[in-house]
Amino acid sequence: MENSTRLKHGAFQIYTGEGKGKSTASMGLMLRALGCGFHVYYLRMMKPRWKTGELALCPTLHPNLTYKNVEQDWILSRSKHIPEHVEAMTKALAAEMDILQEVLVSAAHDLVVVDEINYCIHRGLIPVDRALELVRSKPPQVELVFTGRYAHESLIEAADVVTEMRKIKHHFDAGVAARRGIEF
């Protein structure tokens, strides 16, 4: 990639809160970065293998995009209450964090998005210290984005930009189910 298309200063951003739009905002940033010639690594940690619009499109969307989904159905099932399944998910995410560390430190990608990492930390699947280690290893020219509810206070303190999506009203509360093409 030409030096003119590289970031001169990368920030650490967090999109958190109870409102809708955290992952959607990170996907918008991904599209903007790709449109500017940047290389993007996007990791979905806690999204199931549904045939979501983004999972159908993103893996082959652009040659500068590496789009990865942790293959699991853990979040949708009773598995999150079964100790062996929690342990298996914790091991799977630890392996992803190791890969992510290598990707980040290599600086081969201008933007690295880790979708739903905040929720994984909140559920105890990833130690917050491991996430902070990742943040501290971020090269200065790489933009790093964490999404998900329940952002840990120590990550918020370390961040350059924190955006909280606040739910004012949502039709889920009236019993409307998630709609294909809008919520997934």
Q: Assess whether pLDDT exceeds 50 at residue 170.
A: yes
Q: In the structure encoding, which two tokens stand for residue 38, read together?
A: 């940047």
What CATH number was assigned to the domain covering residues 3-174? 3.40.50.300
pLDDT at 79 > cutoff 80: no
Q: What's residue 54's pLDDT?
A: 85
Confidence of residue 76 (pLDDT cuts 50, 70, 90): low
Q: In which region does residue 37 sit, left (phi positive, over 0), alpha (psi from -120 to 50) or beta (all else)?
A: left
- Label residue 28 by pLDDT band (50, 70, 90): very high
List the domain boundaries for the chain.
Answer: 3-174
Structure-model confidence comparison of residues 80 and 168, the more confident one: 168
Backbone angles phi and psi of 69, in degrees to 5: -125, 125
Q: Which residue has the higher pLDDT, 182 or 33?
A: 33
Q: What is the pTM of this model?
A: 0.91
pLDDT digits (tens, 9 = 90+) for 95-144: 999 999 999 999 999 999 999 999 999 999 999 999 999 999 999 999 99
Mean pLDDT along residues 61-65: 96
**108: how many CB neighbours lie within 10 A of its CB?**
14
State the pLDDT confidence band at 2, using cuts at 50, 70 and 90: very low
Kindly report which listed range (51-55, 78-82, 125-129) carries the lowest average pLDDT score: 78-82
| DSSP notation for the chain | --GGGS-SS--EEEEESSSS-HHHHHHHHHHHHHHTT--EEEEESS--S---HHHHHGGGT-TTEEEEE----GGGSGGGGSHHHHHHHHHHHHHHHHHHHHHHHHT--SEEEEETHHHHHHTTSS-HHHHHHHHHT--TT-EEEEESSS--HHHHHH-SEEEE---S--GGGGTPPP-TTTT-
